[in-house]
Amino acid sequence: MDANSPGDEPRESPEAILDALRDRREWGEEARETQLARLVEQFPVDQLREAVRGRLRMLGGADGEAILRLVEAYSTPELLEELADALEDQRDLAPERVWGALDMLEVSGVLAGRPGLMEWWEEIGESLESDDGIETLVEQLEEEPEGSWVALQAIGAVEPAVRSEIIAGLANFPTGPGLIAFLRLLAFAHDPTTRDAALDALSGRADLDDEHRLAWAEIAHDHPDPNVRDRAVRILGPDAESAIEEALDRPGRARPNPVSSLVTGLDGSGRGSILIAARDRGRWVVANFLCDVWRGVVDVEGQVGDDSSLVSTLFEEFEGQGDRDFVEGAPGLAEGLLAGSLLLCGPETNPVLRYWLERSVGPEFRPRPFAGLVRDEELASHALESMEEPSRQILDACPDWVDGSDLTYDLAEEIALRSGEGPPDPRRDAGAFRYLFEHRLVGRLEHYRRMLLWMSSFWQASGDPDLARSALALAWQLADPQHAVPAHPFTVALTARSLLAAREDIRHGRGSG
């Protein structure tokens, strides 16, 4: 065997493999991935943690990427704090290496307690606006194309006007596969300025080489906007159909196979999480989509690793973080609610969303109305029944569905001063109930209707069809203007609970907001 072959390296310790990754700079990406995979397969997690712990202050070497990937895959609070300590002393690291580490610390919450590192993280983000920053970005995309999500996350934090200037600047650089893939992902941005800038940067080449042709073919096949698809087909010309077929078969195309999912109920603001784990081109992917019934997907975090324990570890960590109800192992629920949330996304959505969609549910995943919410005779008749008891049951199941506005607190304080210790009463305090409805709740009925639609699917998947039917029937009623009145059972129950919660907060010295 050739002396320079990666197969010659000793396998007696993780340190030996990491040394080889550091010393053999001539190894290509495939050889390095093979070594990392063997590292993960041969040694227990505790031994791998110890191996990287001693190298956190040497992240500038050729093994630095592997070290950070192992930290990400097997992170503990202690290990992340050690990484933060180590970064404090390595201010000469390459920006792309630092960004990956700092972004990991930001996601885990460690960065918030490190003002020096936080400032460094912001400086790197701001440097994207300079010519040097753009050149660094291009180099990073070509050296570590799988890490394009980091660049997408960073560019999504920049103001749209500046963002489009950065993207226009990218068009002036020689384009390799990494940059082309980056621009293709940006072409799916919900912000029109960002999307158009990316499409212009892709189309600005005089010659349509193979990489550009395949990128346009994927856009022609996958993009949800028919106008963008038509533009891609026109650019591809008469060979569009064959180019699309070739693009769909290319080895680099994301082909995730979902393996697990988790969906939470909604909090009082109408937010819930969808976790999807998948196996994509030999690697494990976990994406956490934070969804809002008004704004769509408002945040997304993800991790990619080589060890299957990544899935169980991240799911267990998420389950232990809060007390919200969740449904696990219901892929139809997860994908249906995620697709519905995509319909609600606006220009403020971070373009990194597209990366995690492709890695977790696939490039062909499209927005669509919430799945399973179809009117039928049984539900239609249920919607004609009294909603007093169903409203109580729904709000009992969602105790934090209360209005926390300043107006609610003002009215709760007024009722307490006037009526003493008794709970808010819709008869005795009819004026306050009506005032809160007319000046606050009537404008939020659509918000609650959307929350009920989400929870209807959630309860159906969790095995509570009665609550699911009640939530759907109530959502139908709230969509009808004749039910948008202060005396509706749901409005009365919501007002009473909101005023009571506000009074308890005031009693314990807590204010609104």
Q: Which residue has the tokens 């990287």?
A: 52
Helices (H), 306-464: 309-319, 331-342, 352-360, 377-382, 388-397, 406-419, 430-439, 445-462
CA distance 97 to 63: 11
What is the full DSSP assignment across 162-199? HHHHHHHHHTTSPP-HHHHHHHHHHTT-SSHHHHHHHH
Q: Which residue has the tokens 């009920």?
A: 452
- Dihedral, 314, 316, 317, 319 alpha carbons, nearest 10: 120
Note the pLDDT of residue 101: 82
Model confidence, pTM: 0.73
Report how far apart, in Å, the C-alpha atoms of 338 and of each of 54, 247, 289, 352 are. Answer: 41, 25, 8, 15
As to burial, measured by CB atoms within 10 angstroms (0-12 exposed, 13-18 middle, 19+ buried), residue 252 is: exposed
H or E segment and range at residue 127: helix 115-127
CA distance 459 to 145: 40
pLDDT tens for the chain, 513 residues long, are 333 444 444 446 888 888 888 877 667 666 777 788 778 878 888 888 898 888 888 888 888 888 888 888 888 888 999 998 888 888 777 666 776 788 788 878 888 888 888 888 777 666 555 545 566 666 667 666 566 787 788 788 777 777 888 888 877 776 788 888 889 999 999 999 999 999 999 887 656 788 899 999 999 999 999 999 999 999 999 999 999 999 999 988 999 999 999 999 999 999 999 999 999 998 999 999 999 999 999 999 898 888 888 899 889 888 887 778 999 999 999 999 999 999 999 999 999 999 999 999 999 999 988 654 444 444 545 555 678 999 999 999 999 999 999 999 999 999 988 877 778 999 999 999 999 999 999 999 999 999 999 999 999 999 998 899 889 889 888 888 888 899 999 999 999 999 999 999 888 777 555
H or E segment and range at residue 299: strand 296-305
Amino acid symbol at 468: A
Query: 273 has which bridge partners?
Result: 290
Note the pLDDT of residue 223: 96
Note the pLDDT of residue 148: 77
CA distance 492 to 390: 13
Query: Domain boundaries in the chain?
Result: 257-360, 377-507
How far, rounded to the nearest angstrom, does the alpha carbon of residue 299 sit from its chain's CA centroid? Answer: 4
- Give all strands of the β-sheet with 296-305 in edge-to-edge order: 296-305, 283-292, 271-280, 257-264, 326-328
DSSP state of 423: P
CA distance 485 to 466: 25
Residues 216 and 202: beta-carbon distance below 8 Å: yes
Note the pLDDT of residue 229: 96
H or E segment and range at residue 96: helix 95-108
The number of C-alpha atoms within 13 Å of 167 and in the hemisphere containing its C-beta is 34
The residue among 90, 94, 144, 88 whose CA lies nearest residue 111 is 88
Note the pLDDT of residue 511: 59
Per DSSP, the three-state class of 278 is strand
How far, rounded to the nearest angstrom, does the alpha carbon of residue 140 sit from its chain's CA centroid? Answer: 23
CA distance 172 to 189: 21
Q: How many helices (H) and strands (E) does the chain have?
A: 25, 5
Amino acid symbol at 21: L
The residue among 334, 322, 357 whose CA lies nearest residue 260 is 334
Dihedral of CA 139/142/148/150: which sign? negative
Residues 203 and 234: beta-carbon distance below 8 Å: no
Helices (H), 205-320: 210-222, 226-236, 240-249, 309-319
Q: What is the largest CA-CA distance in the chain?
A: 90
H or E segment and range at residue 283: strand 283-292
Note the pLDDT of residue 3: 37
